[in-house]
Amino acid sequence: MAEEPVSSLSLFSDDLLYNLEFSDDVCTCKLPDGMSPKTPGEGLCMRALQFTDFSKGYSQLLAQLTRVGDLTQDKFEEQFRGIQASPNTHYITVIEDTTRGELVASASLIVERKFTHLAAMRGRIEDVIVADSCRGRQLGKLLLETLSLLAIKLECYKISLECVENNVPFYAKFGFKQEDSLFMVRRIFD
Ligand code: 16G
């Protein structure tokens, strides 16, 4: 069977991350000198989620955030293909420790088309996680700043997220504020 082109193995083009303009007037949070999506740190690579990332510990990484359950490779691949069927909606971004071939951080920008606000886009930041082994390397900051800039580039009129009280000061650094409207949830299963 013919090999699939590499591009279809990626959820979106890494260039979208690498070509963002980290200028002072749009950045809300200063990154350490020299840090950018192209240069996230020694031995690290930041990129779009890939079809082969199940074997690089994506579910183990997510399990540090919440319950993942028994996510099999087949289920992962089916979900990946499903997301690919709605392009330009899920910007799931990961950081790989390339020396160990293991994912160490991830965050997602989900983009939703609205009819309101002059048929604008709305961005949601989801599933932000940095592995315990990489705490202190400012990867959360890099992911948040990058996905915020991407949302601005994609012309989102607002970006929102849900988080626990303890993380409010972290997200406040990127311009997130608590609004009056409450976030309500109806849980169907765990
Ligand atoms: C956090 C995440 C959210 C995720 C939830 C998982 C951020 C900013 N927020 O609130 O995206 O869905 O945890 O909790 O990363 P759940 O599995 O109980 O929904």
- What's the pTM value of the predicted model, to 2 decimals? 0.95
Amino acid present at 93: T
Look up residue 56 and give its DSSP letter.
G
C-alpha 67/C-alpha 110 separation (Å) is 20
**Nearest atom in ligand 1 to 167's CA:** 8
Distance of CA 132 to the CA centre of its chain: 17
Task: Tell me the CA–centroid distance for residue 163 and ligand 1, in Å.
Answer: 7
Q: What are phi and psi of 21, to 5 degrees?
A: -95, 110
Average pLDDT over the chain reads 94
Ligand 1: which of 59, 62, 64, 66 to mutate, most ligand atoms within 8 Å of CB? 66
Task: Tell me the CA–centroid distance for residue 2 and ligand 1, in Å.
Answer: 39
Residue 3 has what pLDDT? 61
Q: If one looks up domain 6-172 in CATH, what number appears? A: 3.40.630.30
Task: Tell me the CA–centroid distance for residue 157 and ligand 1, in Å.
Answer: 22
**Nearest atom in ligand 1 to 66's CA:** 17
Helix count and strand count (H, E) for the chain: 6, 5
Quick one: average pLDDT of 67-74? Answer: 97
Task: Give the pLDDT band (50/70/90) at residue 23.
Answer: confident
Query: Has residue 101 got a pLDDT over 60?
Result: yes
Query: Has residue 6 got a pLDDT over 60?
Result: no
Q: Where are the domains of the chain?
A: 6-172
Residue 89 has what pLDDT? 97
In which region does residue 148 sit, left (phi positive, over 0), alpha (psi from -120 to 50) or beta (all else)?
alpha
Ligand 1, atom 17: nearest CA belongs to which residue? 66
Query: Residues with beta carbon inside 6 Å of ligand 1?
Result: 65-66, 125-128, 161-163
Task: Give the pLDDT band (50/70/90) at residue 69.
Answer: very high
**Nearest atom in ligand 1 to 128's CA:** 15
pLDDT (tens digit, 9 = 90+) per residue, 110-125? 999 999 999 999 999 9
